[in-house]
Structure 1
Amino acid sequence: MARSRRLDQTPFSADILDLTHDGRGVARLADGKAVFVAGALPGERVTAVRTARSRHFDEATTLEVLQASPHRVTPRCAHFGVCGGCVLQHLDAGQQILAKQRVLRENFERIGHVTPERWLEPLVDREWGYRRKGRFSVRRVEKKDKTLVGFRERDPRFVADLHECHTVIAPIAAVIPALSALVDGLAARSQIPQIEFIAGDATADFDGVALVFRHLQPLVESDLAALAAFGRAHRFAIFLQPGGIDSVHPLWPEAPSLAFRLPPWDVELRFRPLDFIQVNAGLNETMIARTMELLDVQPGDRVLDLFCGLGNFTLPLARRVREVVGVEGEAGLVARARENAVHNGLANAQFFAADLTQDQSHAPWMRAGFDTLLLDPPRSGADAVLRQLPLKGLRRIVYVSCHPASLARDAGYLVNERGWTLRAAGVMDMFPQTAHVESIAMFEKQG
């Protein structure tokens, strides 16, 4: 974005008319130019100051709320407004859901030119303490004589100096200051850029939480001892990452087992500390149940699950249908999905590694014939594979999305070019307090 050299930082008053898709208020200047105001809500009048300018819009942050929205609430976290981890703590939870529904609806209308026949009730779970996977940035700040551990600030050049976080699960929230002190006491404190956390179910050895310390130089014995002692004290598994993903290895315990159960389907998923798992455990179970409902799975069905990951949907589906085939681009996840199928005694689940953004016309699974199709793609969506798939013979398609724009684009293709009907769609609040919109849509063939 082009920015002018001179930025007028004179405070100004503005009426907030709308909310952007990233959670900022929208105001209009006298000349009609849009201003996106962080910390402001629709219906409010605020005093703000510009933080950036471009040809088409300005950016600003709220200095004072002159007239508050009836939906404004007091943010729970002391770091709100600085930390970029969540941006909607000042908005009532019910209104957050309505805002996310509006984002999905507008994307369907503007990008896909489609409208679902039925809007699904939103799926919600815990509003706080839900996040079981994430990444803390680490930065040694010599001027403060301190090591910062936290999420990036709204200005991503900086790391938020976190003392608390209410969106992460309780065991992680409780140790954020201790993590800062731990790293600050290491000889390699300036060579640790990040700490990843992930949590499964507790075991006899540890409480299910794993920390992965990325380090840019070999660690001395005293550092290794300090990290292992931290793990023992908090019953966390400690992993080290000296290089790429394949370099991750355990420090303590010697061979920790990471896994989480999906009790409704009697499935246990084993994973590695940098694998993708759904962030919100409670919402994940509800999402799987809704997916099965929308697929209308029958005991004799064959289901194709694209972008299947570890088998989060695939293995529960295998408990309900005759056969399910999962396809995933990352070979390591496919290997672990196969291991999970064996671990759970599911012989009717097959897995294939394939780059679903490329030509797969030669793949044996492509034309095997299925009753229903499930897609759970990354933010880029599933247009490449949808344009290749022989959709004839499918009864239903269910699309789980982490990005409403790509879902809307792909829905427009299915409806307007392939003759399917968008029967139902709705949002799922996987990330409360953030502007992130997770959604689900179900399609049936016309006629």
Structure 2
Amino acid sequence: MSRRAPHRGRQRPKTKRQAPAGPPLELDIIRLSHDGRGIGTHQGKTVFVSGALPGERVIAKLQQEFGRYSEAQVLELLSRSEQRQAPVCVHFGQCGGCQLQHMDAAEQLAAKQQGVLDQLRRFANVVPEQMAVPLTAQVLGYRARARLGVQFNKAGKVALGFRRAGDKQLVALSQCPVLQPSLQSVLAPLAAWLERFNVLAVTHVELVATELCTLVIRLIRPLAHDASEALMTLADECGWQVFLQPGSDKKALTTVGGESVDPRLHYTLTAASSAKKTLTIGFHPTDFTQVNPAINQKMVTQVLEWLGLSVGERLWDLFCGVGNFSLPAAQCAAQVIGVEAVEAMVARARENAAANHIANIEFLAADLSQSSIDRLIQKAGRPDAIVLDPPRDGARDICEQLGKLKRARIVYVSCNPATFVRDARILVDQGYRLQRFGVMEMFPQTSHLETMALLIKG
């Protein structure tokens, strides 16, 4: 999903300088930052320390200094937190994909939950009336899709992986324990193919695990014949489904042989517990879908539970994508209206409604940053309930108008606590209450956190 960035006005660039040479700092780490770094203070200035955990005393090397804070890296642990554990990945600390593998999984979640609650209290002056039990699943082997970069050095050695922490250079991954096993098994043979044939034409590879292991290979020029033939053989041997993306249009894919295709992958969702119907959701390999299938199913189930839809009610699903919430919700409501800015996603959602024989649902293409509530009501009717599932920029424009609705309850699903906190304040100022709040561990081992909130009027 895409949406214009909110206007922030003129901003001064951050003033930074390399840390001066000098002795390392000895710091007490008091808490965890939103991005997984430990926080200490030195001479009244906040210091963010990579690799440090709350409760530890560390020796740290300054890396950069800014006007109001500094950044540092752990050199030595003088005292260790009981939360500290050995990382499971050999690349941890270099690869920027994970930030918290050195911390117990349960403590990761507790720290992230407390962090977003602190943000709600400090920046929105809001405290949830009820806290839900966090949604959790497996902490490793959960990730069903990933986008890996490809770089070659001067010696022809390839790096296939994620960027280094704080750097544009890639880490050549030999393993990635957060990937589902079928995707992790791609790393070695794919890197070997890239290096053997010196495939400089490849810039990125998207990995998607569904019923098949699918690869979408981004090209800046056509593959050489020998590399193409070898890739087809490798795909057959490994059981991969491979597509090439030869142009700037992400949806325009070809087979390795060059034939244009418009493929669909699929995942399943169990709808309402009373309906006991399994839905099949189709999507293009480059469409946005949730990376953690187990948490996604739990998230959909909880959204429906919190909405408490009755057979006579109308639901708006805003930023609906391929219908992840809309389609299950249609099993409970009289009518569901899904709204999405990306035309291709709207087409996919309509396909999914037809494939699952769901008639009480309609999908509209509209940029919600440019749409008014009044116009939506004219097109879609007045809602009894709303699901908001915006991208990282949040839903400020639409939240500023939701006060016009007299009785609609809102379930807000967020992938960015900072923009959720901003939007929660906007909604509270319009008469909503944050009745229920919970977190979802969509990305274990990382600093990222998804949240869910139920807001009601009165």
Same fold, judged at TM 0.5 (above):
yes
Q: Which runs of 5+ in 2 are unaligned?
A: 1-13, 272-276
Contact kept? 1:238, 1:253, Cα under 8 Å: no
Amino acid at match of 1:383: R
Q: CA deviation at 1:197?
A: 1.1
Match of 2:215 in 1: 211
Relative distance call for 1:342 and 1:11 in structure 2 (3 A) is same
Q: Which residue of structure 2 aligns with residue 343 of structure 1?
A: 355
Q: Give the 5 Å matches for 1:324-343.
A: 324-343=336-355
CA contact (8 A) 1:75 1:90 kept: yes
Q: Quick check: 2:438–2:451 contact (8 Å CA) kept in 1?
A: yes
**Pair 1:3 & 2:6 matched:** no
1:263 to 2:277 alignment = no
User: Shift of the alpha carbon at 1:378?
Assistant: 0.7
Could you say what secondary structure the match of 2:345 adopts? Answer: helix
Question: After superposition, where does 1:252-401 map in structure 2 within 5 Å?
Answer: 257-264=264-271, 265-360=277-372, 361-363=374-376, 368-389=381-402, 391-401=404-414
Q: 1:182 aligns with which of 188, 193, 199?
A: 193
Q: What is the CA-CA distance between 1:249 and the residue it aligns to? A: 2.6
2:289, 2:129 → 1: CA distance? 31
TM-score normalised per structure 2: 0.91
Correspondence 1:195 to 2:205: yes
Q: Which deviates more, 378-387 or 70-79?
A: 378-387
CA contact (8 A) 1:305 1:324 kept: yes
Q: Are 2:430 and 1:413 equivalent residues in the alignment?
A: no
User: 3-state SS of the aligned residue for 1:246?
Assistant: coil
d(CA) in 2 for partners of 1:115 and 1:146? 52
1:432 aligns with 2:444: yes
Q: What is the TM-score normalised by the length of structure 1? A: 0.94
Paired letter, 1:3: K
Output the CA distance in 2 between the equivalents of 1:9 and 1:133: 43
Q: Quote how far apart the aligned CAs of 1:263 are.
A: 3.3
- Matched position secondary structure for 1:34: strand
- From 197, 213, 227, the counterpart of 1:223: 227
1:95 equivalenced with 2:107 (yes/no): yes
The match for 1:423 among 427, 431, 435 is 435
Query: Hey, what does 2:167 align to over in structure 1?
Result: 156
- Match of 1:205? none
Is contact 2:183-2:209 (8 Å) kept? no
Q: Which residue in 2 is equivalent to 1:113?
A: 125
* Match of residue 12 from structure 1: 25
Residue 365 (structure 1) shift: 5.4
Paired with 1:40 and 1:162, the residues of 2 have a C-alpha distance of 24
SS in 2 for 1:90: coil
The CA deviation at 1:366 is 5.4
Q: How many residues align?
A: 436
- Code of the residue aligned with 1:169 in structure 2: it is Q
Give 1:166's match in structure 2, choosing from 177, 198, 201.
177
What's the % identity of the aligned pairs?
A: 39
**Cα distance, 1:348 vs structure 2:** 0.8
Q: Which amino acid aligns with 2:16?
A: R
Distance in 2 of aligned mates of 1:258 and 1:209: 10
C-alpha contact 1:359 1:388 (8 A) present in aligned 2: no
1:139 matches 2:146:
no
What amino acid sits opposite 1:231 in the alignment?
A: A
Is the Cα–Cα contact under 8 Å of residues 301 and 321 in structure 1 kept in the other structure?
yes
**RMSD (Å), alpha carbons:** 1.8
**CA offset at residue 5 of structure 1?**
5.1
Secondary structure of the residue aligned to 1:337 is helix
Question: Hey, what's the Cα distance between the residues in 2 that align with 1:356 and 1:73?
Answer: 44
Ranges in structure 1 where 5+ consecutive residues have no aligned partner: 203-207
SS of structure 1 residue aligned to 2:182: helix
CA shift for structure 1 position 111: 2.1
CA contact (8 A) 1:20 1:26 kept: yes
Compared with structure 1, are the counterparts of its residues 191 and 50 closer, same or farther at alpha carbon in structure 2 (3 Å cutoff)? farther
Which residue identity is paired with 1:336? R
Name whichever of 263-272 and 243-252 sits farther off: 243-252
